[in-house]
Structure 1
Amino acid sequence: MTDHALGVHSETGKLRQVVVSPPGLAHRRLTPDNREELLFDDVFWVKQAIKDHAVFADIMRGEGVEVLDAMTLLAETLDIADGRAWVLDHRITRNDVGVGMRDDLRTWMEGLPGTELARYLVGGITVDDLPFTPSGMFGSYLGLHGFVLPPLPNFIFTRDNSAWVYGGVSLNPMHFAARRPETLLTAAIYRFHPKFSGKFDVIWGDPLTDHGLATAEGGDLMPVGDGLVLVGMGERTSPQGVGLLAEALFDKSIAKRVIACQLPRSRSAMHLDTVFTFCGG
């Protein structure tokens, strides 16, 4: 495919390149007990979902779209020494995995192939996966089958943790804690993978920063065209997030106008793209 500038300039323009994330280990680890905490309405048939996703990706390829697999991009990023170190530095912390287990877990993960490491970072790590006996307070608390790292089943929704708005991208501070690690993994891809590194501006957001009440998710961000951006403001994207994002868009001359659309704070209207979708220009 011919190289072209990265960006999304319309909700209905020709799609040339897209990042998708297929179902996998994270979804096999959804259960009736944990699905609500992980923001899923129900468990689903993962084997069939994988087949359906592959069909969907093939349909897009048939229309001339370059389909990039987020798991492959992440694995390739983790095969870059600096990329691997950056992810592990910020994902395998004492705050996340406790004092007693951090060093053993880090050593084990440093030795994994990129593909396997990506699978665990998204799919989660259970005590059963570990080649060592977990130690420390957290390790003792987990029992025989607990999650050392919880799975990220919502990583399949690639539009949410980052959002391309015209020629730049936001790295979104997400509303629910269950989704925030997704942004770190996507930021690593953008920062270290040669397909993205140095080829665009980050408009707003940093997964290493505590954004407080300022949250945003990509399903609420719609670059309509001609410098106009619609932003849903409801359950997932806060007024504080809208204000800071709009300020950044104006400061970087990326947008001319931002319209905030107030949404009900309900799951049925969790994102602006849940409420409506543009069908033509």
Structure 2
Amino acid sequence: MVKAGTAISVIDDIGVLKEALVQGPFCNPLGETTGLAEDESQEAAQQHGRLVRELETAGVTVRHLDAQLYSALGFADARDWILERRISELKGDQSGSCDIISWLSEQPAQALTGYLMDGMYDADLPAGLARPHEGATQDDGWFIAPLANVANLGGWFCVIGGGVLLSQPELQQSRAAAITAGAVLNFAPMFDQSRFEFWLTADGAERSCPPLDVNDIAMPGERVCVAAITKGTSVRALSLLAESLFRENKAGTMLWLDLTGTDCACLDDCFLPLSRECLLVDMKLLKTVNSFVVRANHRGAVLAIEACRTSFVDELARSMGTADLVLIDMKRQPEPVADALTRLAPIVLSPGRIIAFEEHAAAFRLLEQHGVEIVSTFPGAAVSGQGKGPRGLMTALHAT
């Protein structure tokens, strides 16, 4: 149990990082020493361990998702909550799902944590509870499929002010990550005194949510929110978020970028705050795509969504109250600097102070010339499949 008054709050993306949630490539809720084969998996575990050490050296309290899930599963209501939702996501005949949920709920918390994170085969079910299939075995024999890309926890949820926003995949995609994150946030004792709210819904994991990817949300300054319309984030989701932020007085300005039809998978690919005045951007793209400003009336309700009358950058500078934004254009640099900037995605420890991968060293000199301090670096190729990061390997829980 955390002490009363523990804060779960993030003012913006470039505040002083105090507490973060991570997840290693292997489920190990009790932090036991394990012997892994000398292969890429071992290298990924070592690199993730290095990330944790660098964060802790910088004064960040590091929490682990599997340990928090394990602590939540010590409560019967948490087991019922997550199992009902995770089992309902499965395909096929669910006529025996109640019996299966009852059996799973009786398993030790460590075993159940492993099933929910690493997966469980049909063959692991007792003979009388085997799931009926239509024809051949589904999902390569998995009853509960493993959580995908679990080390990249940054895409699961983000904290905005005193609220938690969970990614909501499209209906045809797996919602297992959102459900698991929702269970941890709802039931882990660490969050008992946090007093945060969920956006967009009451418990964070309802099926009614329109699609939203938290990698399409940025807070470059206090009460300033930038969001992107992409394949993963709908206009409806952003409208609901705007209503919540304005109603709760968590944002004074919200700007949208329409990235549909571009090569950007998410907002992070073209817009990334590094300090109060310095941002990493793709200027050509920002000048090309449609941008919008969302305004609220005096009661906090969304009043209008209007096309920006000036450029997006001008609207952003006006919203942040500065005319001196430093914009590092990631695409207008010689190689290999441009490629390193495109993949940089660092962890911001405090304004202008970052942790980065060694693989992006080609960009460090340029960053330092713009006042950005590279506090520490470590290899990241094994722990980040797409070569980006380490921003995606953690979720900020508390930053001031």
Give your verdict on TM over 0.5. Answer: yes
| 2:166 is equivalent to residue 171 of structure 1 | yes
Assess if the C-alpha contact under 8 Å between 1:128 and 1:145 holds in 2: no
Which amino acid in the other structure matches residue 111 of structure 2?
Answer: E
Counterpart pick for 2:255 among 252, 259, 262: 259
Match of 2:208 in 1: 210
Match of 1:142 in 2: 137
Deviating 4+ runs (over 6 angstroms): none
Give the Cα separation in 2 of the matches to 1:200 and 1:13.
19
CA 1:136/1:17 → structure 2, altered by over 3 Å: closer, same or farther?
A: closer
Give the Cα separation in 2 of the matches to 1:113 and 1:65.
31
Q: How much has 1:14 moved relative to structure 2? A: 1.2
Deviations 1:173-198 (A, max 9, x none): 22374441211111111111222135
Which amino acid in the other structure matches residue 187 of structure 1?
Answer: G
CA 1:179/1:68 → structure 2, altered by over 3 Å: closer, same or farther?
A: farther
Match of 1:76 in 2: 71
Comparing 12-21 and 166-175, the one that deviates more: 166-175
Give the Cα separation in 2 of the matches to 1:128 and 1:23.
24
Give the Cα separation in 2 of the matches to 1:144 and 1:250.
43
Match of 2:374 in 1: none
Assess if the C-alpha contact under 8 Å between 1:126 and 1:149 holds in 2: yes
Counterpart pick for 1:201 among 197, 204, 210: 197
| 2:20 is equivalent to residue 22 of structure 1 | no
Q: TM-score, normalised by structure 1?
A: 0.82
Q: How much has 1:131 moved relative to structure 2? A: 3.8
Assess if the C-alpha contact under 8 Å between 1:20 and 1:69 holds in 2: yes
Comparing 180-189 and 1-10, the one that deviates more: 1-10
Uncovered stretches (5+) of structure 2, i.e. residues with no partner? 28-38, 277-400
Give the Cα separation in 1 of the matches to 2:68 and 2:169.
21
Match of 2:233 in 1: 237
Match of 2:10 in 1: 8
| 2:274 is equivalent to residue 279 of structure 1 | yes
CA 1:158/1:94 → structure 2, altered by over 3 Å: closer, same or farther?
A: closer
Match of 1:28 in 2: none
Assess if the C-alpha contact under 8 Å between 2:122 and 2:130 holds in 1: no
- Alpha carbon RMSD of aligned pairs, Å? 2.7
Name the SS for the 2:10 alignment partner.
coil
Counterpart pick for 1:128 among 110, 123, 129: 123
Q: How much has 1:102 moved relative to structure 2? A: 1.8
Q: TM-score, normalised by structure 2?
A: 0.59
Assess if the C-alpha contact under 8 Å between 1:101 and 1:139 holds in 2: no
Give the Cα separation in 2 of the matches to 1:65 and 1:144.
39
Give the Cα separation in 1 of the matches to 2:89 and 2:148.
23
| 2:96 is equivalent to residue 105 of structure 1 | no
Give the Cα separation in 1 of the matches to 2:250 and 2:139.
51
Which amino acid in the other structure matches residue 23 of structure 1?
Answer: P
Which amino acid in the other structure matches residue 241 of structure 1?
Answer: A
Q: How much has 1:277 moved relative to structure 2? A: 2.1
Name the SS for the 1:191 alignment partner.
helix
Match of 2:47 in 1: 52
Higher RCO (CA < 8 A, seq sep 6+): 2
Q: How much has 1:235 moved relative to structure 2? A: 2.0
Counterpart pick for 1:246 among 242, 248, 259: 242
Assess if the C-alpha contact under 8 Å between 2:225 and 2:254 holds in 1: yes
Q: Which has the higher helix share?
A: 1
Deviations 1:34-61 (A, max 9, x none): xxxxxxxxxx932211111111111101
Give the Cα separation in 1 of the matches to 2:243 and 2:253.
11
Q: How much has 1:171 moved relative to structure 2? A: 2.7
Give the Cα separation in 2 of the matches to 1:177 and 1:196.
30
CA 1:94/1:166 → structure 2, altered by over 3 Å: closer, same or farther?
A: closer
Assess if the C-alpha contact under 8 Å between 1:231 and 1:260 holds in 2: yes
CA 1:144/1:177 → structure 2, altered by over 3 Å: closer, same or farther?
A: closer
Counterpart pick for 1:226 among 209, 222, 225: 222
Q: Which has the higher strand share?
A: 2
Q: Percent identity?
A: 23
Which amino acid in the other structure matches residue 192 of structure 1?
Answer: F
Which amino acid in the other structure matches residue 166 of structure 2?
Answer: L
Aligned residues, how many? Answer: 260
Uncovered stretches (5+) of structure 1, i.e. residues with no partner? 26-43
